Amino acid sequence: MLTLLPAAAVATVAAAVLITTVAVQIWAAGRRIVRINRGRGRGIVARSGRYQPAHQPENELGPLVLGIMGDSLAAGLGATSAAATPSALLGQALADRHARPVRVVNVARVGSGARDLASQHQRLTKAMGPTGRAPDLVVVVTGANDVLPTPFRLKSAARTLGESVADLNGRGAHVVVATCPALAAVTALPRPARTLMHTAGLRLARLQREQAHRTGASVVVLHREVSPAIAADSTLLADDGFHPGDRGYALAADTILTALTAHPARRAEPSQNPGSGLQPLPAVQPS
């Protein structure tokens, strides 16, 4: 027993030092990311709007409505122009593919986590007007701000995501969930914080995937389908070393687009389409 006590004490001290080191690294990295992005994205991130088919005549159908919810990756922080954000990349691609207008309603906010999905869900529903219908398509990107090495918190975040997705799916939306990316691919976090957060992120992504499948949503597993390319080429990141840059967003949007178009688009008549009188929401400013 006497030999075990010193070993246990050493282990306790080592764990405390590790936790303190990781907390300081995360705090310092967060401050640096905020400082680099302060003032950026004004009029760019989370931009809502209408996109027209570029090179083909429109068909007789009314506009598709695409809702985007989530965190700074859904808002587009790190992009250098509005055209490089998820709103524009997905909105224009869908308009071209379906030969019909696409109305994008982006309610994502920089710094958001699963706890914010309920309020974003309410904003999206309110934007749809008195019909009570959901958008035709919804993309949800969240997870990076929910990553904590605490199993209960991860389960709670995934469960909250599942609740929003289940409601949207139940009201007829085709929902695509993009799970937590691989944090090992970002350069803003030093080790050992990056390793610990990456491990927690993988667990969260698995829980998110389970919730999404349970509710019937489509899933884009970012840590498999996008993060490896970013890990191999850091120029896909913005200069803050955390968010995607223009090329990174293009890669992610292409992957999400595949999931969005896996099901036929609704063939709603213009008079029935809930987005026919929708007004763009004001751009969200980074906090």
CA dist 107 and 141 (Å) reads 11
Burial profile 254-287: b = 16 or more Cβ within 10 angstroms, e = fewer? ebbbebbbeeebbebeeeebbbbebeebebbbbe
- How far apart (Å, rounded) are the C-alpha atoms in residues 158 and 210? 9
Strands 174-178 and 49-51: unpaired
Asked whether the beta carbons of 193 and 157 are under 8 A apart, the reply is no
**Angle at which helices 193-215 and 151-170 pack, to 10 degrees?**
30
DSSP type of residue 55: S
Residue numbers annotated as active site: 72, 240, 243
Strand ranges (E), 114-237: 137-141, 174-178, 218-220
**What is the rounded distance in angstroms from the CA atom of residue 260 to the CA atom of residue 106?**
16
CA dist., res. 285 & res. 280, Å (int): 15
Give the DSSP H/E element, type plus range, for residue 287. none
For 75-92, give the DSSP string: HTBTBSSGGGSHHHHHHH
- Helix H or strand E segment including 164: helix 151-170
User: Read out DSSP for 1-18?
Assistant: -TTHHHHHHHHHHHHHHH
